[in-house]
Amino acid sequence: MVHVVLAGADGREFTGGEGAFDVEATSVRRLILALDQRFPGFGDYVERRMAFAIDGVIHQDAYGAELAPDSEVCLIPKIGGG
Amino acid sequence: MTDVMDRPALKVVGTRPIRPDGVDKVTGRAQFGADFHLPGMLVGKIKRSPHAHARIVSIDTRKARALAGVKAVITAADLPDLASQEYEAGESASNLRDLSQNCMARDKALYQGHALAAVAAVSAQVADEALDLIEVVYEVLPHVIDVEAAMEPSAPVLHAHLFTEGLAERPATASNIAKVNRLGRGDLEAGFGEADVVVQGRYTTKAVHQGYIEPHACVAQVSQDGQCQVWSSSQGQFMVRTYCAKILGLEIADIRVTPAEIGGGFGGKTTVYLEPLALALSRQSGHPVKMVMTREEVFRATGPTSGAVIEVKLGAKQDGTIVAADVVLKYQAGAFPGSPVGAGSMTALAAYDIPNVAITGYDVVTNSPKVAAYRAPGAPISAFGVESAIDDLARELGMDPIVLREKNGVVSGVKAVYGPTYRDIGYLETLKAIKDHPHYAAPLGPNQGRGVAVGFWFNVGGESTAAVHVNEDGSAVVVTGNPDIGGSRASMAMMAAEVLGLPVEQVRPIVADTASIGFSMLTGGSRTTFATGMAVTQAAGKIVEDVKRRAALIWDTTVDKVAWESGQAVCLDATKSAVKPLTLAAIAAQAGRTGGPISAEVSLNAQGAGPGFAVHLCDVEIDRETGHVTVVRYTAAQDVGRAIHPAYVEGQIQGGVAQGVGWALNEEYIFDADGQMENAGFLDYRVPVASDLPMIDAVLVEVPNPRHPFGAKGVGEAPIVPPLAAVANAVRDALGVRMCDLPLSPPKIRAVVDGLAS
């Protein structure tokens, strides 16, 4: 199971305040679908607003990124810059 | 991925060739946004609100339209009334309604300088006359600019539809607080309970502008068949294309945007102001339209970064272990939501491994220009508060400020306060570089003080396209879709040259228009050398594979018996011992016989950017008579991954320091009681010039990012993060008094000196 962590308060309105949970997924796309199934609307929110730190490596908009069974995915706000 | 990086000796990467755009720039030939001309071109100008907050009762343009020489007049009524919708263009999502209404006010003017109408005329004089003939009836409303005043329940509300996001329950009334961010871990109360020492402070910063030398400028042309062309200086031609299409209701395929040379952006040119209006004016008039902002317009109507309030409380054990940190950040967003408080929150404590943390950020709309990105958006502001408090903590504990930071510093494997686990970071190495530098032990003179501060920036990757074409003589062209705002052309050419085995002088880097190269996100977030460089490297790699195949064809052998060494194909086939290596030029000369032109294009979405840490050391000298602060010595170390072109990296660091010093000592938006900006020009808005600064010693610490073919990390943003606090900490050291409100301008210094004297 992939361990999902919400570092901040962003998105917790969808998760009932939960900040960490386990999800069955082998890719970012499947993770988004699983999150949406578990917390309706959350997958869409994650797609629009969040980046994925997969075992410490930050991915933005990366459906194909693979997840290992013991991966930790930290959801953080998407990052821009100047 | 790491095969190139692991080569024993790089021949081009890490050297300092002459910049490919240098000659044109120093001889004045480079074509910036305002340099472009078309036959029959009109001059476009903008009517702007004189009020900081007003309802627009009516706009009567009839007299302006009737003026001889006026060819077009537009207001918001000429643009689609867009619904609230987030749309990704450039690097992150923007609300299209807000973007459109920032380009042209619809119902309310939300800041002095907000665009209300635009004209296109045969000359600047006629255009100015036409602006004077536009009659606007206003209902002037109370305004609010101060961030904390705007948060008050009694404050004038800018947007009746704005309800605070991020609260447990949707509020019942509209508010200027667009969003509350919360970030944290551990048990804050228990953490402070363990602390032997607690320090706290309240710090403020003023809105400051990116201060790019080149004002916004563009030329737009709409043909009779609806095909649109734009020439403008921006940080992303694809961003300009998308935003123009959305704001005007056009098809993306009908717009072609050509990037001009850019005279500085620093984040401020990651959005549009003029381009949609110039297109609308051209569409109405049937002529090309040129629009160029004055410096005053740049200050009054384009995005500065936020003014802010930062509250910091730190708790530590006597041995220096920081056990708790509570940070509150309140950032001005300007007229529409979207301050960089999110990034400010995430970066505030990113350099520290602290078990109990709470960070709360407020995004607050105010009657001032909508903020735009500015190098490491949000991070210098929060770092100013945190690094000032860390300095006070070191004094309270009697510890060396670098030793305190080393004791609490993050390393690979540690979980960042903002969530992810760090990998391949070089923070402690960067601290050591400063601790070991001769500057750190150098004696100080009278009235001098020394300050240390650190900074962090994520760096990002993202979508990029690059093409490499080999010419008939074996030289090459590298084509990308990223405007060169900090030396990226040089680094692109160098990475391609390294892979191809060519001298860098034989690789010509080009920044193409939107019809000539695939999509690239804009140049920003310190992403281009990382992400576009990855695309360039992969495209060059495809070229190498292709020319090896062609060499095999020429030699009548198999491709596995061909190696690419030092820019030439070498035959490994023992049965062909008589053949000589083939250079790229030799293979290019036979391109027609071996498959046609030699060319490759790669599009990718680069992931895995490595974060950057910066550690700065600043010495100041205080003139106690005038209150003037002189930065007398400055050393800046940064983990840069691997420097592709070290001189450019040093330049990025020096530029970031210069801007940060200006932010610390002089720069600020000053508003009068009516919300009018009083210093909208470089005479009164004082940016540092060369004579204000010492030579800034840039120290490059190279801890490679294994996810980039040459180990590069973004370098353009981390260096602006520490200077605010580094300067403030040096002033604290010199004066013996903590000053918490930027800028540390002469009147404020004098007030402290006078207070000490009395």
| Residue B451 sits in the same domain as residue B480 | no
State the Cα angle at B363 between B357 and B365, rounded to 5°.
160
Q: Give residue-wise pLDDT tens across range B330-355.
A: 999 999 999 999 999 999 999 999 99
| Residues B710/B533, Cβ–Cβ less than 8 Å | yes
pLDDT at B7: 54
C-alpha distance from residue B143 to each of B97, B98, B112, B346 (Å): 22, 19, 10, 31
User: Which structure tokens are listed for B722?
Assistant: 């520490």
DSSP-derived secondary structure letter, B532:
I
pLDDT at B93: 78
pLDDT at B752: 97
Nearest chain B residue (CA) to A72: B420
pLDDT at B8: 59
pLDDT at B153: 96
| Residue B621 sits in the same domain as residue B735 | yes
- Checking if the pLDDT of B229 tops 60, the result is yes
Q: Give residue-wise pLDDT tens across range B304-328.
A: 999 999 999 999 999 999 999 999 9
Cα–Cα distance, B122 to B71 (Å, whole number): 7
3-state secondary structure of B314: strand
Number of domains in chain A: 1
Contacts of B458 in chain A (CB under 8 A): 58, 79, 81
| Residue B547 sits in the same domain as residue B494 | yes
pLDDT at B87: 87
Q: How many CB pairs under 8 A join A and B?
A: 116
Establish if B210 belongs to a structural domain: no
Q: Give residue-wise pLDDT tens across range B428-487.
A: 999 999 999 999 999 999 999 999 999 999 999 999 999 999 999 999 999 999 999 989
Cα–Cα distance, A78 to A47 (Å, whole number): 10
Q: Give residue-wise pLDDT tens across range B684-710.
A: 999 999 999 999 999 999 999 999 999
Helix axes B379-397, B401-408, angle to 10 degrees: 110
DSSP per residue over B589-655, as a string? HTGGGGTS-EEEEEEEEE--PPPEEEEEEEEEEE-TTT--EEEEEEEEEEE-SS-SSHHHHHHHHHH
Q: What is the CATH number of the domain that holds A34?
A: 3.10.20.30
pLDDT at B86: 87
DSSP-derived secondary structure letter, B664:
H
Q: Torsion angle, CA of B602/B604/B496/B698, rounded to 10 degrees?
A: 160
| Proportion of chain B above pLDDT 90, given as a percent | 96
| Residue B520 sits in the same domain as residue B478 | yes
User: A33-37, A75-79, B747-751: lowest mean pLDDT where?
Assistant: A75-79
Of B562, B585, B606, which marks where a domain is finished?
B606
| Residue B582 sits in the same domain as residue B626 | no
Strand (E) or helix (H) holding B380 = helix B379-397
Interchain CB distance below 8 Å, A81 and B525:
yes
Establish if A54 belongs to a structural domain: yes
Establish if B393 belongs to a structural domain: yes
Helix axes B646-665, B723-735, angle to 10 degrees: 50
| Proportion of chain A above pLDDT 90, given as a percent | 76
CA dihedral for B209, B215, B221, B227, sign (positive or negative): negative
- Checking if the pLDDT of A30 tops 60, the result is yes
Contacts of B527 in chain A (CB under 8 A): 81
Of B557, B582, B606, which marks where a domain is finished?
B606
If you average pLDDT over residues A6-31, what whole number do you get?
93
* Domain that residue B734 falls in: 378-459+610-757
Q: Give residue-wise pLDDT tens across range B404-416.
A: 999 999 999 999 9
| E strand intervals along chain A | 2-6, 20-23, 50-54, 57-59, 72-77
| Residue B677 sits in the same domain as residue B647 | yes
If you average pLDDT over residues B56-77, what whole number do you get?
98
Contacts of A53 in chain B (CB under 8 A): 419-421
Establish if A16 belongs to a structural domain: yes
C-alpha distance from residue B708 to each of A22, B367, B481 (Å): 31, 43, 19
| Residue B631 sits in the same domain as residue B739 | yes
User: Which structure tokens are listed for B601?
Assistant: 């294009």
| Residue B556 sits in the same domain as residue B650 | no
Of B579, B606, B633, which marks where a domain is finished?
B606
| Residues B517/B236, Cβ–Cβ less than 8 Å | no
- Checking if the pLDDT of B6 tops 80, the result is no
Nearest chain B residue (CA) to A81: B525
3-state secondary structure of A41: coil
Candidate from B524, B605, B607 with C-beta closest to A80: B524
pLDDT at B90: 66
pLDDT at B2: 38
Cα–Cα distance, B691 to B689 (Å, whole number): 6
Establish if B342 belongs to a structural domain: no
If you average pLDDT over residues B103-118, what whole number do you get?
98
Q: Give residue-wise pLDDT tens across range B491-515.
A: 999 999 999 999 999 999 999 999 9
pLDDT at B731: 98
ipTM score: 0.94
Establish if B390 belongs to a structural domain: yes
Q: Give residue-wise pLDDT tens across range B531-581.
A: 999 999 999 999 999 999 999 999 999 999 999 999 999 999 999 988 999
Which of B45, B270, B143 shows the shortest CA–CA distance to B676?
B143
Q: What pLDDT band is residue B18 in, cutting at 50, 70 and 90?
A: very high
Establish if A82 belongs to a structural domain: no
Q: Which of residues 338-357 of B touch A (CB under 8 A)?
A: 342-343, 345-346
Q: How far is CA B60 from the centre of its chain?
A: 39
B282 dihedral zone (left: phi>0; alpha: psi -120 to 50; beta): alpha
Establish if B58 belongs to a structural domain: no
| Residue B547 sits in the same domain as residue B652 | no
Please name the residue ranges forming H helices in B56-133. 62-66, 96-103, 124-133
Q: Give residue-wise pLDDT tens across range B601-623.
A: 999 999 999 999 999 999 999 99
- Checking if the pLDDT of B191 tops 50, the result is yes
Establish if A70 belongs to a structural domain: yes
Establish if B530 belongs to a structural domain: yes
| Residue B572 sits in the same domain as residue B479 | yes
Per-chain mean pLDDT for chain A: 93
- Respond yes or no on whether the N-terminal peptide bond of residue B259 is cis (omega within 30° of 0): no
Per-chain mean pLDDT for chain B: 96
pLDDT at B94: 87
Q: What is the CATH number of the domain that holds B475?
A: 3.30.365.10
If you average pLDDT over residues B367-384, what whole number do you get?
97
* Domain that residue A73 falls in: 2-77
Establish if B78 belongs to a structural domain: no
Number of domains in chain B: 2
| Residue B476 sits in the same domain as residue B586 | yes
The residue that leads in pLDDT, B157 or A78, is B157
